[in-house]
Amino acid sequence: MTTRIADMFARRRARRDAALIPFFTVGDPDLATTRDLVRAALAEGADAIELGVPFSDPMADGPVLQRAASRALAAGTTLPRVLELVGELRREYPDPPFVLFGYYNPFFRYGVDAIARDAAAAGADAFLCVDLPPEEGADLREAAGAHGLDLIATLAPTTPPARIRTIARAASGFLYFVSLLGTTGVRAALPPELPARVARVRGLTDLPVGVGFGVSQPEQAAWIAGFADAVIVGSALARLVETAGPRDAPSRVADLVARLRGAVAARDGA
Protein backbone atom coordinates (compact mmCIF):
# COMPACT_ATOMS: atom_id res chain seq x y z
CA MET A 1 0.00 0.00 0.00
CA THR A 2 1.39 3.38 -0.97
CA THR A 3 1.15 6.18 1.58
CA ARG A 4 2.05 9.84 1.67
CA ILE A 5 4.99 9.00 3.94
CA ALA A 6 6.28 6.29 1.61
CA ASP A 7 5.86 8.60 -1.37
CA MET A 8 7.74 11.39 0.41
CA PHE A 9 10.72 9.20 1.15
CA ALA A 10 10.66 7.72 -2.35
CA ARG A 11 10.85 11.22 -3.84
CA ARG A 12 13.72 12.20 -1.59
CA ARG A 13 15.53 8.94 -2.23
CA ALA A 14 15.24 9.48 -5.98
CA ARG A 15 16.86 12.89 -5.51
CA ARG A 16 19.45 11.41 -3.15
CA ASP A 17 18.58 13.84 -0.41
CA ALA A 18 16.95 13.93 3.04
CA ALA A 19 13.53 15.05 4.18
CA LEU A 20 13.04 17.97 6.56
CA ILE A 21 10.32 17.46 9.19
CA PRO A 22 9.45 20.34 11.56
CA PHE A 23 7.53 19.71 14.77
CA PHE A 24 4.91 22.07 16.22
CA THR A 25 2.89 21.72 19.41
CA VAL A 26 -0.69 22.20 18.29
CA GLY A 27 -2.33 25.14 20.03
CA ASP A 28 0.88 26.88 21.06
CA PRO A 29 0.05 29.67 21.59
CA ASP A 30 -3.29 29.09 19.80
CA LEU A 31 -4.71 27.04 16.94
CA ALA A 32 -4.73 29.88 14.44
CA THR A 33 -1.02 30.49 14.97
CA THR A 34 -0.26 26.78 14.62
CA ARG A 35 -2.01 26.81 11.25
CA ASP A 36 0.11 29.78 10.17
CA LEU A 37 3.30 28.08 11.39
CA VAL A 38 2.55 24.97 9.35
CA ARG A 39 1.83 27.09 6.30
CA ALA A 40 5.10 28.95 6.76
CA ALA A 41 7.11 25.75 7.14
CA LEU A 42 5.57 24.11 4.07
CA ALA A 43 6.12 27.24 2.00
CA GLU A 44 9.83 27.08 2.83
CA GLY A 45 10.34 23.46 1.86
CA ALA A 46 9.29 21.27 4.78
CA ASP A 47 8.47 17.76 3.53
CA ALA A 48 6.19 16.66 6.36
CA ILE A 49 4.89 18.06 9.63
CA GLU A 50 4.80 16.53 13.09
CA LEU A 51 1.84 17.88 15.02
CA GLY A 52 2.30 17.51 18.75
CA VAL A 53 -0.79 16.64 20.77
CA PRO A 54 -0.35 18.60 24.03
CA PHE A 55 -0.25 16.48 27.17
CA SER A 56 0.07 17.40 30.83
CA ASP A 57 2.98 15.04 31.54
CA PRO A 58 5.31 15.11 28.49
CA MET A 59 8.05 12.95 29.97
CA ALA A 60 10.28 12.89 26.88
CA ASP A 61 10.27 16.66 26.46
CA GLY A 62 12.63 19.26 27.83
CA PRO A 63 11.63 22.65 29.29
CA VAL A 64 10.92 24.36 25.95
CA LEU A 65 8.40 21.79 24.75
CA GLN A 66 6.99 21.37 28.26
CA ARG A 67 6.13 25.06 28.27
CA ALA A 68 4.71 24.78 24.75
CA ALA A 69 2.39 21.98 25.87
CA SER A 70 1.33 23.97 28.94
CA ARG A 71 0.49 27.01 26.82
CA ALA A 72 -1.48 24.87 24.38
CA LEU A 73 -3.49 23.22 27.14
CA ALA A 74 -4.14 26.58 28.79
CA ALA A 75 -5.46 27.84 25.45
CA GLY A 76 -8.03 25.03 25.42
CA THR A 77 -6.40 22.68 22.91
CA THR A 78 -7.98 19.23 22.96
CA LEU A 79 -7.50 16.16 20.78
CA PRO A 80 -10.76 16.82 18.87
CA ARG A 81 -9.54 20.33 18.11
CA VAL A 82 -6.19 18.93 16.95
CA LEU A 83 -8.10 16.72 14.52
CA GLU A 84 -10.11 19.70 13.31
CA LEU A 85 -6.87 21.50 12.51
CA VAL A 86 -5.54 18.45 10.66
CA GLY A 87 -8.70 18.47 8.55
CA GLU A 88 -8.30 22.15 7.73
CA LEU A 89 -4.67 21.67 6.75
CA ARG A 90 -5.41 18.59 4.67
CA ARG A 91 -8.00 20.44 2.63
CA GLU A 92 -5.39 23.09 1.92
CA TYR A 93 -2.42 20.76 1.43
CA PRO A 94 -3.26 17.40 -0.20
CA ASP A 95 0.26 15.99 -0.40
CA PRO A 96 2.52 16.47 2.68
CA PRO A 97 2.33 13.88 5.46
CA PHE A 98 0.94 14.96 8.82
CA VAL A 99 2.12 12.90 11.81
CA LEU A 100 0.28 13.03 15.14
CA PHE A 101 3.03 13.01 17.75
CA GLY A 102 1.94 12.33 21.28
CA TYR A 103 1.71 10.22 24.39
CA TYR A 104 -0.54 7.21 24.67
CA ASN A 105 -2.88 8.52 27.37
CA PRO A 106 -4.82 11.00 25.16
CA PHE A 107 -5.17 8.40 22.39
CA PHE A 108 -6.29 5.74 24.87
CA ARG A 109 -8.80 8.05 26.53
CA TYR A 110 -10.22 9.03 23.14
CA GLY A 111 -10.53 5.35 22.21
CA VAL A 112 -7.97 3.52 20.12
CA ASP A 113 -10.35 2.56 17.32
CA ALA A 114 -12.03 5.95 17.38
CA ILE A 115 -8.80 7.95 17.19
CA ALA A 116 -7.53 5.86 14.28
CA ARG A 117 -10.82 6.30 12.44
CA ASP A 118 -11.10 10.02 13.11
CA ALA A 119 -7.43 10.77 12.46
CA ALA A 120 -7.62 9.03 9.09
CA ALA A 121 -10.84 10.84 8.24
CA ALA A 122 -9.20 14.18 9.08
CA GLY A 123 -6.27 13.41 6.80
CA ALA A 124 -3.51 12.39 9.22
CA ASP A 125 -0.95 9.84 8.04
CA ALA A 126 0.57 8.35 11.16
CA PHE A 127 0.87 8.24 14.91
CA LEU A 128 4.16 8.62 16.74
CA CYS A 129 3.52 7.54 20.31
CA VAL A 130 6.69 8.04 22.31
CA ASP A 131 5.71 6.06 25.43
CA LEU A 132 4.17 2.99 23.78
CA PRO A 133 6.54 -0.02 23.54
CA PRO A 134 5.81 -2.58 20.82
CA GLU A 135 4.67 -5.19 23.34
CA GLU A 136 1.88 -2.85 24.45
CA GLY A 137 1.07 -1.31 21.09
CA ALA A 138 -0.93 -4.04 19.33
CA ASP A 139 -4.30 -2.29 19.75
CA LEU A 140 -3.15 1.03 18.31
CA ARG A 141 -1.05 -0.67 15.65
CA GLU A 142 -3.97 -2.78 14.45
CA ALA A 143 -6.40 0.14 14.53
CA ALA A 144 -3.96 2.38 12.67
CA GLY A 145 -3.31 -0.26 10.05
CA ALA A 146 -7.01 -0.86 9.53
CA HIS A 147 -7.40 2.82 8.62
CA GLY A 148 -4.28 3.12 6.50
CA LEU A 149 -2.18 4.93 9.12
CA ASP A 150 1.44 4.25 9.97
CA LEU A 151 2.67 3.74 13.53
CA ILE A 152 6.13 5.27 13.78
CA ALA A 153 8.45 4.04 16.53
CA THR A 154 11.35 5.62 18.39
CA LEU A 155 14.84 4.26 18.97
CA ALA A 156 17.33 5.41 21.59
CA PRO A 157 21.12 5.57 21.22
CA THR A 158 21.32 2.68 23.68
CA THR A 159 18.82 0.38 21.93
CA PRO A 160 20.63 -2.95 21.27
CA PRO A 161 20.44 -4.66 17.86
CA ALA A 162 17.93 -7.35 18.87
CA ARG A 163 15.63 -4.71 20.29
CA ILE A 164 16.01 -2.56 17.16
CA ARG A 165 14.76 -5.51 15.09
CA THR A 166 11.79 -6.04 17.41
CA ILE A 167 10.80 -2.37 17.31
CA ALA A 168 11.30 -2.11 13.54
CA ARG A 169 9.10 -5.16 12.88
CA ALA A 170 6.26 -3.50 14.78
CA ALA A 171 6.70 -0.09 13.15
CA SER A 172 5.78 1.38 9.79
CA GLY A 173 6.39 4.65 7.96
CA PHE A 174 9.81 5.39 9.42
CA LEU A 175 11.85 5.08 12.58
CA TYR A 176 12.57 8.12 14.75
CA PHE A 177 16.11 7.87 16.08
CA VAL A 178 16.64 9.95 19.20
CA SER A 179 20.06 11.54 18.73
CA LEU A 180 21.07 11.66 22.39
CA LEU A 181 20.21 10.48 25.86
CA GLY A 182 17.84 12.75 27.74
CA THR A 183 14.90 14.92 26.78
CA THR A 184 14.20 17.17 23.83
CA GLY A 185 15.93 20.52 23.63
CA VAL A 186 18.38 22.60 21.65
CA ARG A 187 21.97 21.36 21.84
CA ALA A 188 25.11 23.18 20.75
CA ALA A 189 26.67 19.88 19.67
CA LEU A 190 25.41 16.42 18.79
CA PRO A 191 27.18 13.13 19.59
CA PRO A 192 30.00 12.36 17.15
CA GLU A 193 28.95 8.69 17.30
CA LEU A 194 25.59 9.50 15.72
CA PRO A 195 26.48 8.48 12.11
CA ALA A 196 27.68 5.05 13.28
CA ARG A 197 24.59 4.55 15.41
CA VAL A 198 22.26 5.41 12.55
CA ALA A 199 24.25 3.18 10.19
CA ARG A 200 23.73 0.30 12.61
CA VAL A 201 19.97 0.86 12.51
CA ARG A 202 19.91 1.09 8.73
CA GLY A 203 21.74 -2.21 8.57
CA LEU A 204 18.92 -3.90 10.50
CA THR A 205 15.80 -2.56 8.77
CA ASP A 206 14.56 -1.24 5.45
CA LEU A 207 12.49 1.48 7.10
CA PRO A 208 13.71 5.05 6.61
CA VAL A 209 15.42 6.59 9.64
CA GLY A 210 14.81 10.14 10.78
CA VAL A 211 16.94 11.84 13.44
CA GLY A 212 15.61 14.29 16.01
CA PHE A 213 16.25 15.71 19.50
CA GLY A 214 18.75 18.53 19.83
CA VAL A 215 18.78 19.62 16.18
CA SER A 216 18.63 23.40 15.92
CA GLN A 217 21.27 24.72 13.53
CA PRO A 218 21.55 24.48 9.74
CA GLU A 219 25.01 22.98 10.11
CA GLN A 220 23.62 20.19 12.29
CA ALA A 221 20.82 19.54 9.80
CA ALA A 222 23.29 19.33 6.92
CA TRP A 223 25.46 16.89 8.87
CA ILE A 224 22.51 14.61 9.68
CA ALA A 225 21.35 14.71 6.06
CA GLY A 226 24.59 12.99 5.15
CA PHE A 227 23.67 9.76 6.95
CA ALA A 228 19.92 9.78 7.74
CA ASP A 229 16.72 9.85 5.70
CA ALA A 230 15.12 12.75 7.55
CA VAL A 231 16.05 15.65 9.81
CA ILE A 232 13.49 16.44 12.54
CA VAL A 233 13.48 19.83 14.31
CA GLY A 234 11.20 20.77 17.21
CA SER A 235 12.54 22.67 20.22
CA ALA A 236 14.35 25.28 18.13
CA LEU A 237 11.06 26.16 16.44
CA ALA A 238 9.12 26.11 19.72
CA ARG A 239 11.66 28.51 21.21
CA LEU A 240 11.04 30.90 18.32
CA VAL A 241 7.30 30.68 18.89
CA GLU A 242 7.82 31.40 22.58
CA THR A 243 10.07 34.41 22.09
CA ALA A 244 8.51 35.93 18.98
CA GLY A 245 4.84 35.75 19.91
CA PRO A 246 1.89 35.02 17.62
CA ARG A 247 2.37 37.96 15.26
CA ASP A 248 6.04 37.43 14.41
CA ALA A 249 6.41 33.68 14.96
CA PRO A 250 5.40 32.57 11.43
CA SER A 251 8.01 34.76 9.76
CA ARG A 252 10.70 33.71 12.25
CA VAL A 253 9.83 30.05 11.72
CA ALA A 254 9.83 30.53 7.94
CA ASP A 255 13.34 31.97 8.13
CA LEU A 256 14.73 29.07 10.16
CA VAL A 257 13.02 26.41 8.04
CA ALA A 258 14.37 28.06 4.88
CA ARG A 259 17.90 28.03 6.30
CA LEU A 260 17.56 24.40 7.40
CA ARG A 261 16.20 23.35 4.03
CA GLY A 262 18.97 25.24 2.26
CA ALA A 263 21.64 23.60 4.38
CA VAL A 264 20.20 20.14 3.80
CA ALA A 265 19.93 20.75 0.05
CA ALA A 266 23.51 22.03 -0.12
CA ARG A 267 24.80 18.99 1.76
CA ASP A 268 22.77 16.61 -0.38
CA GLY A 269 24.06 18.22 -3.53
CA ALA A 270 27.69 18.04 -2.41
The catalytic residue positions are 50, 61
**Whole-number Cα distances in Å, 139 to 5, 11, 108, 213, 230:** 22, 31, 10, 27, 27
Q: Positive or negative CA dihedral for 80, 253, 235, 14?
A: positive
Phi, psi (deg, nearest 5) at residue 57: -135, 70
Closest CA to 49 of 264, 270, 268, 253: 253
What does the buried/exposed string (b/e) look like for 231-244 if buried means 16 or more CB atoms within 10 Å of the residue's CB?
bbbbbbbbbbbbee
Question: Would you say 12 and 256 are in contact if contact means Cβ atoms under 8 Å apart?
Answer: no
What pairing do the DSSP bridges indicate for beta strands 230-233 and 150-155? unpaired
Question: Would you say 129 and 151 are in contact if contact means Cβ atoms under 8 Å apart?
Answer: yes
With H, G, I as helix, E, B as strand and everything else as coil, classify residue 40: helix
